[in-house]
Amino acid sequence: MRKYLITVNQNQYEVEVVEVKQGTSKAAQMLNAAPKLKTAVTSTNIKESKTSQNGKKVTAPMPGNVIKVLVSAGDQVTKGQKLLVFEAMKMENDLTSPCDGTVVEVKASEGSVIAAGELLVVIE
C-alpha cells in the first residue's frame, strides 16, 4: 500500500493506493482497491470539523480578493456583523459572523487573495 498527497481545488487529501496482483478476479480487485476511511463519517464528525476546540471557523465561500478586514483578534462580534469585505466576480461581498463571540484569530489580510474554503476568521 502506498500513500500519496493529492491537491484538488487548493485542498490537500492523503490517499492510500493498493497495488492489485495479477490473476485475481475483477470484482475482487475493485473491492480490494476501494478506498477505506480511517474513521467513519458521521454527522457528529462533520459538525466537529466546523467547530474546533479553538472556536467557530469562518471560511471563504468563494475565491476572491480581500478589500477590507473589519475586525481584529480580541474584538467582540454579534451574529450577522460584518467581518470583512471581499471582491469576487467583480462584486463586493460581505462576510458576516455566523455567531456571537470573540474573535480569536484573523487569518485574512487586506489585499490578499483567498480560495474557496480557506480559513479567514476564528470566533470563540
In this predicted structure, the answer to whether residue 24 has a pLDDT above a threshold of 80 is no
Q: Quick one: average pLDDT of 41-54?
A: 48
Q: Which fold has domain 51-123?
A: OB fold (Dihydrolipoamide Acetyltransferase, E2P) (2.40.50)
- DSSP state for residue 110 in the 8-state scheme: T
Mean predicted lDDT score pLDDT of the chain: 79
| DSSP letters for 24-40 | S-HHHHHHHHS---SS-
What residues does CATH 2.40.50.100 cover in the chain? 51-123
3-state secondary structure of 64: strand
Res 46: pLDDT: 45
Among 5-14, 35-44, 73-82, top mean pLDDT goes to 73-82
pLDDT by residue (tens digit) across 75-111?
Answer: 999 999 999 999 988 889 999 999 999 999 999 999 9
